[in-house]
């Protein structure tokens, strides 16, 4: 039996060039699917994430429907915070909202009193859900994920979604000691959440630093990159990682910090949004990094010939990298017609799509 280790996704992450790029979509599980909307009726988002049978079924839905080359575990970046006892809810149409934003040095001290190991103890439903998916999928790999320290901090410090993440960026300079305490704790939170998913059977992980593009390169390097390295299991010294599976690192608007997103080679692949053509991204990332991306989610609304030409262009440009994983430049918008996603997968797989 070949197993997920020999799947196209994992081979691409190892840097193996293939005739066709493996394909999956960020947010492939979710509101674009009628079968998802039906299952979610009457269940709050975070309750759904902590119900192993439900989370497993939602994870499997897009794999069955679209024949993508990977499942991405259905959960959310705030789930480990919830498991740590933090008061958080996900408001439909808005995003994560925290009852007690972390604004001061004493807020940080209070928060980090909960040891991240408590999350490991509470992660039974996560390990169980991933285990159900792994048993069902066989050779198709599961991607586990976590929110990077900065993106999690941006929500925690603001108390909810924000445009420029001003309060988080302010804390770095106004109270760097508190910032580093908070980010160190969040890195451990991400690490244990990833570990639970890998223990359950995930074959790769993606660290979402969705909002990293709001940082100056200098701030990214000083206040964020070391913590993201820790989240991905970096050992001090030799640059290797405690994690036993390949690592993808993703952010939006990261053009100015793209080389930094490699995290000194810790990331096997870097996810690129729609703003930067993949051949230009590959030139920056060099010969040791796989690229992931970068179909413009806006084009999912375009007539098929327009979208097909765009997808073909993305695939062509992706050949400039050592290997390419086809994806969107950000998540699937909820209003997307799922048939369009199925068609993109067929096109990427070289099937006849009129
Ligand atoms: O990609 C997948 O299919 C896996 C599941 C996944 C979800 N959230 C499910 C979800 C993943 C990987 C995430 C990560 C996540 N969550 C990120 C990083 C990725 C990104 O989009 O940049 C962020 C920033 C969050 C925080 C968050 N959670 C937001 C901004 C929202 C959207 C709020 C809304 O209603 O528009 C959520 C909720 C959420 N997470 C939903 C899903 C399917 C929608 C909840 C619903 O169905 O009501």
Residue 344 dihedral angles phi and psi, to the nearest 5°: -65, -40
Domain count, the chain: 1
User: Rounded to whole angstroms, what are the CA distances from 101 to 93, 134, 146?
Assistant: 20, 36, 20
Could you list the mean pLDDT of each consecutive 10-residue stretch along the chain, which spans 354 residues? 90 97 97 97 97 98 98 98 98 96 98 96 97 98 98 98 96 98 98 97 98 98 98 77 93 98 97 98 98 98 98 98 98 98 98 86
Q: Compute the distance between CA of residue 32 and CA of residue 98 in angstroms, rounded to an integer.
A: 26
Residue 220 is among the residues annotated as catalytic for this protein = no
Query: 164 in a domain, yes or no?
Result: yes
Closest atom of ligand 1 to 31 CA is 47
Secondary structure E strands in the chain: 71-72, 88-91, 95-98, 142-147, 204-208, 247-250, 269-271, 290-295, 324-328
Q: Which of 218, 264, 217 is nearest to 237 (CA)?
A: 264
Mutate to test the pocket of ligand 1, among 23, 29, 30, 328 (most ligand atoms within 8 A of CB): 30
Query: 307 in a domain, yes or no?
Result: no
Q: Does residue 80 sit in helix, strand or coil?
A: helix
Residue with CA closest to ligand 1 atom 40: 76
Tell me what pLDDT residue 238 has.
Answer: 67
Q: What mean pLDDT value characterizes the chain?
A: 96
Centre of ligand 1 to C-alpha 74, Å, is 9
Q: How many whole angstroms from its chain centre is CA 71?
A: 12
Query: 185 in a domain, yes or no?
Result: yes
This prediction has a pTM of 0.97
Ligand 1 pocket residue status of 101, Cβ below 6 Å: no
Residue 76 is among the residues annotated as catalytic for this protein = yes
CB 122 within 8 A of CB 205: no
Query: 4 in a domain, yes or no?
Result: no
CB 132 within 8 A of CB 53: yes
Closest atom of ligand 1 to 208 CA is 18
Query: 300 in a domain, yes or no?
Result: no
Q: What would the pLDDT profile of 250-306 be if each residue is shown by its tens digit?
A: 999 999 999 999 999 999 999 999 999 999 999 999 999 999 999 999 999 999 999
Q: Compute the distance between CA of residue 106 and CA of residue 47 in angstroms, rounded to an integer.
A: 30
Query: 16 in a domain, yes or no?
Result: no
Ligand 1 pocket residue status of 28, Cβ below 6 Å: yes
Q: What is the CATH number of the domain that holds 139?
A: 3.20.20.210
Query: 14 in a domain, yes or no?
Result: no
Parent domain of 112 = 26-290
């Amino acid at each position: 039996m070949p197993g997920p280790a020999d799947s196209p996704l994992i081979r691409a992450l190892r840097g193996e060039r293939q005739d066709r790029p493996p394909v999956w979509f960020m947010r492939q599980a979710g509101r674009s699917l009628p079968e998802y909307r039906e299952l979610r009726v009457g269940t709050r988002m975070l309750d759904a994430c902590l119900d192993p049978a439900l989370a497993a079924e939602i994870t499997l839905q897009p794999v069955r429907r679209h024949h993508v080359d990977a499942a991405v575990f259905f959960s959310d970046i705030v789930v480990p915070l919830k498991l740590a006892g933090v008061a958080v809810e996900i408001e439909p149409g808005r995003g994560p909202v925290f009852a007690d934003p972390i604004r001061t040095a004493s807020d940080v001290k209070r928060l980090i009193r909960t040891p991240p190991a408590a999350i490991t103890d509470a992660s039974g439903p996560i390990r169980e859900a991933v285990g159900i998916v792994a048993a069902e999928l066989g050779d198709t790999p599961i991607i586990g994920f976590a929110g990077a320290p900065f993106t999690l901090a941006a929500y925690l410090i603001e108390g909810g979604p924000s445009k420029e993440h001003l309060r988080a960026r302010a804390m770095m300079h106004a109270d760097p000691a508190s910032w580093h305490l908070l980010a160190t704790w969040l890195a451990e939170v991400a690490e244990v959440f990833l570990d639970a998913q890998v223990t359950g059977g995930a074959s790769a992980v993606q660290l979402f630093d969705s909002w990293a593009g709001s940082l100056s390169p200098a701030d990214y390097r000083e206040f964020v990159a070391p913590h993201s390295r820790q989240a991905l299991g970096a050992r001090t010294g030799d640059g290797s990682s405690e994690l036993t599976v390949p690592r993808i690192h993703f952010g939006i608007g990261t053009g100015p910090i793209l080389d930094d997103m490699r995290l000194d080679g810790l990331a096997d692949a870097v996810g690129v949004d729609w703003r930067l053509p993949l051949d230009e991204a590959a030139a920056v990332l060099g010969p040791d990094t796989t690229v992931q991306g970068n179909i413009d989610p806006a084009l999912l609304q375009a007539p098929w010939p327009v979208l097909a030409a765009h997808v073909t262009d993305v695939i062509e440009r992706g050949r400039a990298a050592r290997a390419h994983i086809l994806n969107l430049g950000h998540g699937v918008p909820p209003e997307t017609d799922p048939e369009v996603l199925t068609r993109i997968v067929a096109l990427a797989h070289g099937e006849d799509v009129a």
